Chains A and B, each alone.
Chain A
Amino acid sequence: ELKVEQNPLFLSMQEGKNYTIYCNYSTTSDRLYWYRQDPGKSLESLFVLLSNGAVKQEGRLMASLDTKARLSTLHITAAVHDLSATYFCAVEGNTPLVFGKGTRLSVIA
């Protein structure tokens, strides 16, 4: 059974600082997704990572995938308040998507 673990689950960071969210998964998968969710809202797709060594960047967020280590990272550069949200990674397994528990990010001044 595919398991997806994210850490940390809660992250409070100061504006302007850098930090990384980690996503580990237990079995081989071809695709990994990162989503953002604002309170009470749906999921917004951030990145789709399809191959080993894939790196994608959008603004202050950069995601990477190491399929050999079964690890993806979401790196936040120079955080701003607008990045406050919950971030989920999700991996395709026997069921369409298995989600991590999410990382609740709070960016404070």
Chain B
Amino acid sequence: EAGVTQSPTHLIKTRGQQATLRCSPISGHTSVYWYQQALGLGLQFLLWYDEGEERNRGNFPPRFSGRQFPNYSSELNVNALELEDSALYLCASSTGQAISEQYFGPGTRLTVT
């Protein structure tokens, strides 16, 4: 069974540009989560989507947004990129049930120059 997949693996952008990151969950999983792992800041929760709806949002500005498609894959969009957005962005998926372990993808390394 395929795990969580993310693309691209690496992304280099310039300040002010927009970045789009993609995630495909494990088959049968309806929930997708996005986390940011920035140097020195640890892992921080960004967004949670389930059944196409945004269920929860972490303490990030509105320029971080996303969506979930009917096939449960998800996009994370970061507008007006800033240098401090450079980080590893991890996507995870789960079945969305009350007790449900999250499985993480390989991540997208975003570098903003």
Contact = CB atoms under 8 A, between A and B. Distances in A.
Contact of A31 (B43, B99, B103, B104): B99
B48 A102 contact: no
A28 interface: no
Interface string A39-51: 0111111001010
Interface of A: 30-31, 33, 35, 40-45, 48, 50, 88, 90, 94-102
The bracket for how many chain B residues form the interface is 20 to 34
B102 A96 contact: yes
Contact of A98 (B45, B92, B107): B45
A33 B104 CA distance: 13
A45 B101 contact: yes
Interface in B56-113: 56, 58, 88, 90, 92, 99, 101-107, 109
Nearest to B105: A42
Contact of B104 (A40, A42, A50, A100): A42
A26 to B, nearest CB: 16
Contacts of B92: 43
12 contacts: A33-B101, A35-B104, A40-B109, A42-B107, A43-B90, A43-B92, A88-B43, A95-B56, A96-B45, A96-B102, A97-B35, A97-B43
